Every structure is written in C-alpha cells, then in structure tokens.
A and B are shown apart, each in its own frame.
Chain A
Amino acid sequence: MGQDVIVETRKLTKVYRDFWGRKKKTALNALNLEIRRGEIFGLLGPNGSGKTTTIKLLLGLLFPTSGEALVFGEPAVGVAKNERIGYLPEESYLYRFLNAEETLDFYGRLFNMKADIRNRRAQELIEMVGLAGDKKRILKEYSKGMRQRIGLAQALINDPELIILDEPTSGLDPLGTAWMKRLIIELREKGKTVLMCSHRLDDVQKTCDRIAILNEGELQELGEVSKLLEDANRVEMRARGLPLSEDLRRDLEEVLRRHGGSLESFGHPTTTMEDLFLRIVEESKAHPGRRYLPAVERPPSSPETTDGESASRAKERSSAIKESKPV
C-alpha cells in the first residue's frame, strides 16, 4: 500500500447467505479500489449496486466473504483504525432521547476523551453546525436537516483523518445541501480525506475529485471527475458584454466553419436551479419584506441588469420587487 493510499480494497467480495449457508446475493464482487489521502472520493451507483455494502465493509460492520479491505494499512474489521475515522450514516441513526450536547458527550467518551476536551470539542462542533440554540432539545424534536447536522458533528468529534459520508445531502433542502458541500470542500482543504456515497450526481460533480461507479456489485468506472466528464468532441465558449443578434450568429458560424467546426447552440447560458434558489433566498434575507408581484401590478421602469440575466428578465425582476409598506 502506497504511502498516500489510506483505503485499499483487494478483490473485496461480499456474498449474503441464508441461515443454511445458501447463497442469496452477491452484493460485491472482487472490488479493487484505492482512496488517496486528501481527496474527496465519490462512490456512485444505482440502488443495490453495492455502495453501502462497500462502506459497511470498510467500517467493519460486515465481514468480507473473500478479499480484503485495508484502512490505514490495517484490516477494516479491526477496532484501532476507528480512532481516525468519522462516519455519517445515511439516516443519521442517533439516540433520539439524547440532546445535542449529550450526544456529542457520549460519542466523545467512546474516543476515551477527557471531560474538558470533550466539552470544548462538543461546543465547537455545535457552533460549527449551527445548533447552538437547540443544543438542549432532544434529537426526537429535530428536523431532518438538524439531525443530519448533529450527525455530521458526531462524525467529526474526534477530528478524523478519514470521513465517510453516506448520502450526506439526503433529505436536506438546497440551503442545507449547499452548506454541506461547502463543508466537505473545507474538510479537504484541511487535509482530510472524504469518502462520499451519493445519488445526487450534481453534488458529486461539484465536490468529488475522483469517483467510482458500481452496478450490481461490480466496479464499472473509476477515475477523476473532470477527465471522466470531459467531452473531447466539443468546445465551449462564454462571452460577456454582447447583445444577442443574427449578425453575431452569422459571424460566429463563419469563424467556426473556417476552423472546420459548426455551431451547435447559440443563446444565453442558464444558471442552475440551485444557484437561482440560493440567490433569491440570500436577497430576501438582505431585503426583508420583499415579495413577488404579478405582471399586471408592476410599474413600468428601466430594470438594472444583473450578471447572468437577460435584459427582459432583469426588468421583470426589478419591476416585481416592491418594498411593502407596513400597514
């Protein structure tokens, strides 16, 4: 195992059997994988592809049928490696009768932390995940997003080197998802290694360095995200400060024809739904009381153009924004 490889699987296989030893399902078949230090690694695949089985084998929750899984050079079934690992399960399975402070205190004890270190670390993490105002409430009263955040806090209680996240953005709203992705990237910047398992392909695309794609227990693809997604047959350009016109279109077609290519699409690029949502929420926080107005109520005025918006859209937005006066 190389110096910078912290997770390695060699022909890792898991076959589920019934009570009589008869084979029921091959969940994972001869998986060979390496995860390097400091990267965000994504594990993708449809339901039943073996992603969660792989994670459980790496965590020692399951025993392999054959092959081996090594984490920090030690067999995954060992307990010692858990000192350096943090794990956020998909559903954040925490004890619902505990509150946030008690939860982190409990998990801190499991790392044999002394009381003062435990308390300090718990308060830091509660602040970091934004639950300071709810730390005395029991987890049963938390929303899905809050439970996910406290789940992340317990995964980080020991400041682990390797963080394993199973569907970290599952059930989170776009704000929560954006926050989680930012945090994952920050973890990498601190030198942590992240293994992430997700169905949300756009999240994986924006955060992961390398990915593996599984299907029916077999590894189908493995590599860097940028290289895997690159379409070598196309060229993309973006420009600013130009109004759309037929003349521009013709000129571009002429240039591309001279270079042996052809124009595939011509128009304003679109932003993502996530970016739109986040921007609107940010603006509403900055301007309390604003609300959307239907077209018939908008006063005619010259709109300001904002980045990334078409002129007509910008006009509609500024017209629609009206400060509501207190009644």
Chain B
Amino acid sequence: MFAVLEIEGDPLSWYKLPGAVHEWLEAVGGFAILALFLWFIFRLINPPPPAQRKSGMSAGSWLISSTALAILVALVPIGLAVVWDGMGLTDPAHPRAAKTSWTRHLSLPFHSTVESGTTLGQRDYLYFFYYLASSWAIAAVLVPFFMGLARLRFRRIWGLAKLSFKEAIRKRVLWGFTAILLVFLFASWYLPHKPEDQVRGYVGVVSFVITWLLVITAGLLACFSIPTDLRQQTMHTVVTKPVERYEIVLGRILGFTLLMTLVLVVMTVLSLVYVARAVVPEAKEESFKARIPVFGDLRVQSIREGRVTDKGKSVGREWGLRQYISGGVKDEKAAWIFHDLPSDFAKRDSVRCEFGFDIFRTSKGKYENKGVQCSFTFMNWKCPAAASPETEAQLSQELNQKQSQGNPEEVALGFARDNGFYELKGVEVVDYHTLAVSVPGILFQDLAEWKKKKADNPNPPLTLVVRLEDPSQLLGVAKYDLYLLEDEGKENFWKNFFKGAVGTWFNLCLVIVLGVTFSTYLSGIIGLLLTMVLYLGGIFVSFVKDVASGSTSGGGPLEAFVRINQGLNLVSPLDETAASNKLALGGDKVLIWVLRRILNLLPDLERLDMTDYVAQGFDISLFFRDDSLALRAALLVAYLLPWAVLAYYLMRSREIAT
C-alpha cells in the first residue's frame, strides 16, 4: 500500500491557539474598522428619523459598553497565552525554560502577526494603536449584536428551523440525492482494481460525490430560501409576529443544517457499506486501517552552489511539496526531529517506522524500476550526536567496527542501549510504496525520564537521519512522508470513515451560513454566485496564498501573461526596462495587495477536508492531537463568526416590504 499524507503548511496545534486568536483579532479587527467607518459615513449622509433612533440604544451607552468590552477583547489572546503557558502547552520544538516569566506575553499587542519584530520600535507602537483600535471596533460591532442575542428565544428559532426542514422535504429536494446511486452502480467500472489502490480510490470517489451533491443542494436551499420568502411575501406574516429578524436567519441555518446532517449520515452509512462490499479482501487487509502516526519536524540539508544549505534541491517538479537530496553525499541528508513521543513507546519491544519517499532518477537504463539504498540513523536524547552532528560519523564508524567483530544485531542493540545510537544501512526504498523499518524499543526505554527533564533538556527524544546511498539519484522527502506508528488502528477504519464525514459536514455548515448570510440582502442567484466563489476560492486557497505572497514561479498574474506572450519560461529574467513589463510588474503589486485582503475572506477548505486521512488510512484525532476535529471545528467557527454577525446587521437593516 502507498499511504502518505500530502499536507501543505503547518498542522493545526493546540499550542498555537493564542497566536491564532491574536491573528484572528488582527484580521477581523481590520474589517470591523472598515465597517464602522462606512457605517458612520452612511449615517452622516442618511440620518435615520428620530423614531428609529429611539428604538436602539443611546450613543453614550453604546460607547461605554464598547470600551468596556474592548478591554476584554484585547486581553483575550494575552490571557490565553498565559493560561497555555501555565498548562505547559508550548511549541515542542521550542520548549519554554523553567523560569521564564509569563509577563513576556504582555508585549503581544505590540507585535503584528504579519510583520513581527523583536524589539519595541516606532512601528511596534503604531501596531499597538492599531491593535487597540481593532479591539474597540470588534467590541463596538459586538455590543448591539449581544444585545440582540439576549432577545432571542429558542422556541421561535426551532419553529423556523422546522419550517425550513419541512419546506426542503415537501419540495422534494431530497430526490436529488438519488444521484449517488449512479456512483454505486457504475463507479467500479472506472476505479482501480489493484488491492493497494482500491480503498483509496473508492473512498476518494464516494467522498467527492457526497460532498459536491450536498454542497450544491445546501447552497441552493440556503441562498434561495429567504429571497423566495420575500418575493412571495410569506415573510410578511412572519415578521409581523414578535420574531427577531435574526431568529429568521438562525432558524434557516439550523433547519438546513439539521436536514443536511441527516442526509449526510444516511449517505455515509450507505457509502461505507458500498466501500466495504466493493473492495477485495486483500485491500481490506492492507488498507482498512486508521493509523495513528507520530510525525516529526523535517530538516533537510543539501549542497547548493558548493555550500551546505538547510534547504533541499528542486528537481523542477511543479508541486513544491518535496525537497530532494543527492545520493552518495555525506552532507546531504534529511532529518526528522521528534519533539515528543507517546509514553507508550517505552513499553514496546520495537516501534514501527513507516515511510514513502519519491525517487528522482538522473539516468535511465538498469536503475529504472529498481529501488535505491538508504541509511536510517536513529539517535535518542542521550546520544552525543543528537547535540553535535559531527560525532555522528564517529559513532557510525565505531558501530561498524564492533558489528564486524560480533553478532551485528546484538551489537547494534547494545550500542543503542549504551549510546542511544542505532543505524540501518542498505535499506531498499522504492517509490509509490509505503515501507517500514523497525526501531528497537531500547531507544525509548528512558522516555519517562526525558519527559520529566523536558524543560531543561534541549535534545529531542528521537532524531532520525535518512541518507541516500546510491549515487546519481535523488531522494524526494516531505515532512509527512515518514512517521512512527503509535497504533495501526486495524479495527477503526469505520470510525475514521465517519470522522472523515465530519469534514464534509464542516463544508456544509460553511455553505449554509454563507448562503443564508448573503440571502438576507442579495437575490438568490447573486447570493449563490458569491457563495460558490468563496467556496471555490477556499478550495484553491493555497494557490491564492502563494500568489499573494509572491512566491509562485513566474511572478504574479500579469507577469505570467507577459511571459506567455513573450515565450519566456518561468525562471528567465524579465527585462524590467521595457514599459509593458514595468506596467505588468506594477499591476501585479496592486493585484497582490488586493489578493492579500481577499485572502482573509476565503475559507481554508484544505484544513476542513479530511478525505485524505481516511483514504490513506490515517486516524483523525478527535481532540488532543494536531489537526484534530476540535481544532478544525474551532477554525470553522472563527471563520463563520464574522459572517454570522454580518447576517445579523444585514437582516436588521433591510426593509422586508419593497
């Protein structure tokens, strides 16, 4: 089986939460400031009549409440950072020293997440004022929102939710889901038959079809429901009851979410049965797993232009996920540093290490379709080479000498026990396959001791160095290509399948909230268009991030257009003196500035999608590990919250009868 997680970017981790909240405040605060500014201008031009002014809260109480709430808002990330620190939830790669003061978090309002600095300078004070302004703006927007929330009643929301539910069922929307039967009937004609690829293929297809069927249906329901009510004037008989406008919004969201959830559960069950019956027993044996991997941080070292660098080589492949190291060069290596390990490892005789690398061949002929030889060097925290890489070669030589004099296996285990150093040479690696080596348990026996002294010990519990032995070949590595196996999860595939469906549920919630938000003010078709634009933007958010950061090969959109016209490749230098090229480069700067703002509006759908985990057989953590469901749910809530607040104001400010 070939199983590898292709994840770009850092995983979601609990220790990053305070920083994430700070970043969120920065981004949302900017939009809140803009919204307040536009609202002030609008009110200056179109002041409301006195009667309408009387029905809201007075300006004075709004200012006082907003200021009080702003203090709370500004303190949230600081408070979280202090609490996290106290709980020991820090970056395992940079553990906090025992006597570090919590007061270092008080400098957080002076540091931007976009441009960070280490010393307090003039820019940092400017950022501090921006931080205060954005906290106040968020509070000012939230005060009337919270007051509105206090008037809501669940019974009314539930009544409106039931209405939406019944509407969708009685209008026979659910018939559309019978399209899934086409997949069940005909998918096997097109899907792979090799046992190692079957589960991946089937899971990928059913997940794709279910997601798109549900997303499109949810989008149509969410975007057209309120505009249809307004057009048919059925909304009049609702709004003339003691119903808060926001209850109408929440009722719609709740009703559609419940309906889609039910449909998702049914379709997930049917799909699981379909997959279980469609794949061959060998595929089940090999791939019906939910492995719990322990990933390490990857450090790659290679020689570029005669110098040792901490970046791998590029072999010209478009997708930059992997870095490459050359074979037969001592200084070129890939090191996985495991900053923490499960305590359970200390009780095991051995720990399985699985990996799947890419091989780039510089020559054809006899080397094609054959594996390459790699060496695997394991060093625990007691190993001198873990602190000083120069001694690694020394230890390796010492080990080789001892192995030549005795039983190599016994010698290797003894050496591992005494020096925390274990080496495997000549391991054959083939691409498009997941392989494994066994790490002796003796390397982990003092893990408990390491955990106690973690704060004062800079050495990680395990470092694994991989080198390619075959010359004239290159080995492609990525962070998630190698892991230690905490649990094989053979009984948990079906649970994992349902956990993966939660990713689809996240997509549905996103589309429903966006659709209902837009439908409060826009027509159905425009709302649907906007929702789909944001959704598709979310699918390609990594690409948009690359363009917005200017890191794409070939420059921005206009530069790329110029290159295509002039027949230039991605790396050829552009003549910057030519007027047209100057225009293109200048235009790209503007476009990139706009894209950076738009980026905040796009959902990160790659984070919400967990199909890959299920298809590749990796367990999805519920709560504690990186990229857990809880963290993804928090990300979704953080994205949807500002839209939900926007829906409140849009619905409140619009006239129902036009």
Chain A residues within 8 Å of B, Cβ to Cβ: 21, 56, 59-70, 74-80, 82-83, 85, 87, 89, 91, 93-95, 97-98, 102, 106-107, 109-112, 138, 151, 154, 158
Contacts and interface: CB of A to CB of B under 8 A. Distances in A.
A60 B241 CA distance: 10
B49 A93 contact: no
B166 A97 contact: yes
B242 interface: yes
A85 B237 CA distance: 11
B242 to A, nearest CB: 4
Contacts of B397: none
A94 B234 contact: yes
B43 interface: no
A75 B50 CA distance: 10
Interface of B: 45-46, 48-52, 54-55, 151, 153, 155-156, 158-160, 162-163, 166-167, 170-171, 232-234, 236-244, 655-657
B470 to A, nearest CB: 70
B237 A94 contact: yes
B196 to A, nearest CB: 50
B51 A110 contact: no
Contacts of B55: 74-75, 77-78
Contact of B241 (A68, A94, A102, A107): A107
B526 to A, nearest CB: 14
A110 B657 contact: no
Given A59-B240, A61-B240, A80-B242, A97 B51 contact: no
Contact of B233 (A70, A85, A93, A154): A93
A110 B241 contact: yes
A154 B240 CA distance: 11
Given A74-B55, A82-B240, A151-B237, 17 more contacts: A59-B239, A61-B236, A61-B656, A61-B657, A62-B655, A62-B656, A63-B655, A77-B55, A80-B242, A82-B243, A83-B242, A87-B240, A93-B233, A109-B156, A109-B158, A110-B159, A110-B242
Contacts of B239: 59-61
Given A69-B51, A77-B55, A95 B163 contact: yes
Given A61-B657, A62-B655, A110 B238 contact: yes
A83 B242 CA distance: 5
Contact of B243 (A63, A70, A98, A110): A110
Nearest to B46: A21
B652 to A, nearest CB: 10
A89 B655 CA distance: 17
Contacts of B166: 97-98, 102
Contacts of B163: 95, 98, 106
Contacts of B170: 97, 138
Contacts of A151: 237
Contact of A89 (B49, B158, B236): B236
Contacts of A154: 237
10 tightest A-B CB contacts, nearest first: A109-B159, A68-B51, A61-B657, A110-B241, A97-B170, A93-B233, A82-B242, A87-B240, A61-B656, A75-B55
Q: Which of A61, A87, A151 has the most CB of B within 10 A?
A: A61
A168 to B, nearest CB: 14
Contacts of B171: 97
Contacts of B244: 79
B58 to A, nearest CB: 14
A94 B167 CA distance: 12
B561 to A, nearest CB: 35
B150 to A, nearest CB: 13
